[in-house]
Chains A and B, each alone.
Chain A
Amino acid sequence: MVLKVFFPSCCSWADSGIVVGRWVPEQSSAVVLAVLHFPFIPAQVRQYLSQVQRVTGVSVAVLGSWSNSREEKEERLSEFLEDLGTIFSHEPWIQISKEGDSKFWSCSTLQTHSKNPKKEEIILVYYDQRKVMLSHLHPPLDAAACPEHRAGAASKLSAIFDTVGKSKILFMTDRYDDGPIKMTHWQSDGVEASIIVELMKQASVPACMLLSCLLWLISGLCQSRVLKVWPLSFLWSKLSTCEQLGHRLQHLQAISSSTKAQNHTQLMRKANIFVSLLIDVALGILLMSWLYRKNRIGHLADTLIPVADHVAEELQDLLQWLMGAPAGLKMNRALDQVLGRFFLYHIHLWISYIHLLSPFIEMILWYVGLSACLGLTVALCILSDIIALLTFHIYCFYVYGARLYCLKICGLASLWRLFRGKKWNVLRQRVDSCSYDLDQLFIGTLLFTILLFLLPTTALYYLVFTLLRLLVVVVQGLIHLLVDLIDSLPLYSIILRLCRSYRLA
């Protein structure tokens, strides 16, 4: 097979030395990790490499020699390098050399024990060690494939990526250190570390512990028996704000847990939750600062009552229209008047309650607006809840209309069966024939006729109020869609894909 040598681009300016890395015999490829410089003692080199091998599990060995001669070619150096091949016996011994400033390299192998010495072709692959080091190659998570196939079908190049990724400890020592080993690799330009990242790592442990204690207290409070009494628990389940707050509490618990993430997906999930929480709170604080400037809360409270009045007036007009001859249809006068007056009285009650509340609206809004600092999603949920509360009368009308209509339809269906001489058998859950008495038939037919002729009126009221309720539900649904979007958008992954895509192999 063709021999492949993976050489890091950062070592191309290094001084002469021996080349250290891993030899993968199945693919006939050599992954070079670093260049070790003269002077060195072979025994110490062997000891160091076996240490590294024990810690990382990667079989690191001396693979060959690298010579970067800036002056003209020296005969003695090349002989010396060949002799090194006998000290560190490795099969095949790779010799890479670069002359002066020429762009061309020469790469050859020395095989002392091969049976048929033929000129083998060598492919030199130049790789950026930093990016390969930081990128993770993830195998596709296919649980359905059987394990032995998966082992065979695993990408062969993942061995290369894994070799570089696992040899982190090799990159700790440097040519500028004072030890017996002097190496050149991607960290030779200076060990890369960021002060901010290190500080954050140190600070994150006590912060996590504090956060988890706090969350334990809060969740203990929420689970207490007082809040689980029946009316209150029903209320909590209906308000979407409580649901969203519970959701966020769960997220915080997931982040502040002290166990490290097991695999990559868990790490990404944690990071996504963290970034989405951060953005949420930032947007919420922005919204709050915009709302509390120039007394916008006061303006909002001032316009709320006239808007509620306007909606009530529109509803009254609608009901008057229904009580007349809507769209040219002729309604049953009596039923129409009854239903119309009933709903009008309801609206009147509602308006009086709103007017009762009007002096307190501004204060309530001011305090509720403070909760926007918990996040934009919480503010949106509060908005949706306020809309639900303000249009409560539409919801009531819908419920009344639906109940009436449902009762009417049930009555009609059962009387229709009576009309044809059949009955619903509850035991057998089917329609059976039945012989009715004469007076039963008479009353049944009368009732059937009455219900049938009252049907258009009820149906029209049902239709109108269902459409209104649908409108409110659509508006609330849009707000909830926005909240879900903010909750579940994986912002960290998106930012990572745009900025450092080599980390997301």
Chain B
Amino acid sequence: EERGYRSASGAPITLRRRQHSASCRELTVRCPRLQLRSLSAVTSAVWLAAYGLFVLSENSMVLSAAIFITLVGLIVYLHFVKIDQESLLVIGSLGIQVTSSYASGKESTTFIEMGQVKDVVINEAIYMQKVIYYLCILLQDPGDPQGVSEVVPLFQSSKPRLDCLIEVYKSCQEILEQRKTTPQSS
């Protein structure tokens, strides 16, 4: 099912939960889309600057260079920077898969085995002048059973607020609890 929430900066985001089976859940957060007004603001600023340079220098290469730069910059932004949705696939006893898909369709995934996952927690962080909450996966330290070797933060570009994070946290913990109740040997 799908519900709407707000991100840390106030933009609207949606969370979609799908339960594939008793031990497999998929949680997808869709980020705010690229706004038409910000795109047109940036484009007109660049083109006005280029036109100003053209008036000063009388060289028409400036205009074509500005168009080229705008196009290339838009493509680079869509392919490498703008994240469309971030999803978390939790499969009990196999692992957790984190997928970020960019606006141009590119997807980058990271898979973490269940043996390495210690826990999934909500942390607070001081970011500029605000305190924000973020969800992260704690990885087990192989040498020290009580220690944490690495912290993997999730949903970094959509930055959901605490109410959305609590829903995700509850879904993850239901599956993570199962591995504690079932014994290790079959």
Q: A-side interface residues toward B, CB under 8 Å? A: 1-4, 25-26, 28, 121, 123, 125, 145-146, 149-150, 152-153, 155-157
Q: In whole angstroms, how far apart are the Cα atoms of A149 and B92 in the complex?
A: 24
Q: Known A-B contacts: A1-B182, A125-B94, A146-B143. Give 9 more (CB < 8 A).
A: A3-B186, A4-B94, A25-B186, A26-B185, A121-B22, A123-B23, A149-B143, A156-B115, A157-B95
Contact of B184 among A1, A4, A121, A150 (CB under 8 A): A1
Q: In whole angstroms, how far apart are the Cα atoms of A125 and B92 in the complex?
A: 13
- Interface positions, chain B 111-142, Cβ under 8 Å from A, are 113, 115-116, 142
B142 and A153 form a contact (CB under 8 A): yes
Contact of B23 among A2, A25, A149, A150 (CB under 8 A): A2
Contact of A145 among B91, B93, B142 (CB under 8 A): B142
A123 with B24, Cβ < 8 A, contacts A1-B93, A1-B184, A28-B186 known: yes
In the assembled complex, how far is the CB of residue B1 from the closest CB belonging to chain A, in whole angstroms? 23
A4 with B93, Cβ < 8 A, contacts A121-B22, A156-B113 known: yes
B contact residues around A121 at 8 Å (CB): 21-23
Q: With contacts defined as CB atoms under 8 Å apart, how many contacts are there between chain A and chain B in the complex?
A: 44
Q: In whole angstroms, how far apart are the Cα atoms of A157 and B116 in the complex?
A: 11
A contact residues around B23 at 8 Å (CB): 2, 121, 123
Q: In whole angstroms, how far apart are the Cα atoms of A171 and B182 in the complex?
A: 37
Which 6 A-B pairs give the minimum distances between C-beta atoms?
A153-B142, A28-B186, A2-B93, A1-B186, A149-B143, A156-B115
A149 with B142, Cβ < 8 A, contacts A121-B21, A121-B23, A157-B113 known: yes
Which of B22, B95, B115, B183 counts the most chain A CB atoms within 10 A? B115
Give me 12 A-to-B residue pairs in the complex whose CB atoms sit less than 8 angstroms apart, sorted by A's number.
A1-B93, A1-B184, A2-B92, A2-B182, A4-B93, A4-B94, A121-B22, A123-B21, A123-B23, A123-B94, A145-B142, A155-B115
A145 with B22, Cβ < 8 A, contacts A1-B184, A156-B115 known: no
Interface residues on B, range: 10 to 19
Q: In whole angstroms, how far apart are the Cα atoms of A121 and B23 in the complex?
A: 8
B contact residues around A4 at 8 Å (CB): 93-94
In the assembled complex, how far is the CB of residue B30 from the closest CB belonging to chain A, in whole angstroms? 26
B94 and A145 form a contact (CB under 8 A): no
B contact residues around A26 at 8 Å (CB): 185
In the assembled complex, how far is the CB of residue A131 from the closest CB belonging to chain B, in whole angstroms? 14
Q: In whole angstroms, how far apart are the Cα atoms of A153 and B145 in the complex?
A: 11
A contact residues around B143 at 8 Å (CB): 145-146, 149, 153
A contact residues around B92 at 8 Å (CB): 2
Q: In whole angstroms, how far apart are the Cα atoms of A156 and B182 in the complex?
A: 18
B contact residues around A1 at 8 Å (CB): 93, 182-186
Contact of A155 among B24, B93, B113, B186 (CB under 8 A): B113
Residue of B nearest to A146 (CB): B143
Q: In whole angstroms, how far apart are the Cα atoms of A152 and B182 in the complex?
A: 20
B contact residues around A155 at 8 Å (CB): 113, 115-116
Residue of B nearest to A25 (CB): B186
Q: In whole angstroms, how far apart are the Cα atoms of A150 and B21 in the complex?
A: 34
B contact residues around A2 at 8 Å (CB): 23, 92-94, 182
Q: In whole angstroms, how far apart are the Cα atoms of A125 and B93 in the complex?
A: 13
In the assembled complex, how far is the CB of residue A183 from the closest CB belonging to chain B, in whole angstroms? 27
B contact residues around A153 at 8 Å (CB): 142-143
Q: In whole angstroms, how far apart are the Cα atoms of A146 and B143 in the complex?
A: 9
Q: In whole angstroms, how far apart are the Cα atoms of A4 and B186 in the complex?
A: 12
Q: In whole angstroms, how far apart are the Cα atoms of A153 and B22 in the complex?
A: 28
A contact residues around B184 at 8 Å (CB): 1
The 0/1 profile, CB within 8 Å of A marked 1, for residues 151-186 of chain B is 000000000000000000000000000000011111
